[in-house]
Amino acid sequence: MSSIKSQLRSYMSKTHNTLKKYNHILIHEGVTIAPPLIHYKIKRHINNKIRKFLDENKYLEWKGESDANPMKLIEVKPCDIEYYHYDQPRKIGKVASGYWDTNRIPFKYHSIYRSFDLRFNQGYDWNETPQFIEHKHKISNGEAPRGCNTLSQLNAHFHNYDLLYEKIKKNGYKTQRELFSEKPKETTRLNNDTSHPFSNEIGVNIYSNGSMGKKSTGTHRLAIAKILDLKKIPVLVRTRHADWQNVRDYLRSNTYSNQKIIHNHIHTHPDLQDLLKNQRK
């Protein structure tokens, strides 16, 4: 398994570095519209290859539920959510072993973050950003990204991101529970991803070494939080890697043997603070 894991990491690292270099060259040569669309097509091809590889090599095994409260939010620095996680797992409160935590990219390379960075940090129009161009391409193919069938609808949709950015900048970041208490109907209407608004928080998976990858809901909100350099935001943990769950188990039973991981994370990792508080009592 370690060989397969290292091969996958090497493959993903090389392909994403190549994409980054390719985009840089095109933009340097003055091509502004083509790179995002080309990047989107190449990225989709690469992701399909990765999914096929993962399907052919069993890389995830469910290990049950975590001891942590599945609906309890933890406070995290946006900069500490380093990755965007592709595909499974995404179940709330679950534990899984395997090398699924390699199926990721740096969050800063995600088209949503790159689009928001171009818009809010560099002053680009939305129609010059990768995310807009991806959606525009889908509309031309007869799809309806984010429920948009026309360019006017797409423009209105992206204008809502401007409003969201200004709202968070002015009023700070609020949890879905807080928003629901203020405007229950609107919060419910805007919840497109989960069965209940309270679970529509920024979702993260926690990997074997304690690093975090954005998963499922809240990608746009996380991008805004990073750009605004917010100190902390509430997130909902979806799946923990079994190796990381062992760290939590250690803090309850003192039977875990990997002292290096414990030493690196025990004092500061947000996912361990509930257990540390219990030990201090």
* Domain boundary assignment for the chain: 60-280
- pLDDT value at residue 268: 85
Which amino acid appears at position 209 of this protein? N
Q: Where are the beta strands (DSSP E) in the chain?
A: 60-65, 74-76, 81-85, 94-98, 104-106, 202-206, 212-214, 233-241
- pLDDT value at residue 58: 58
- pLDDT value at residue 199: 87
**Nearest-5° angle of CA 198, CA 200, CA 205?**
115
Cα separation values, 124 from 27, 165, 264, Å = 14, 15, 40
Cβ atoms 76, 222 nearer than 8 A? no
Residues of the chain with confidence (pLDDT) below 50: 31-34, 255-259
- pLDDT value at residue 276: 77
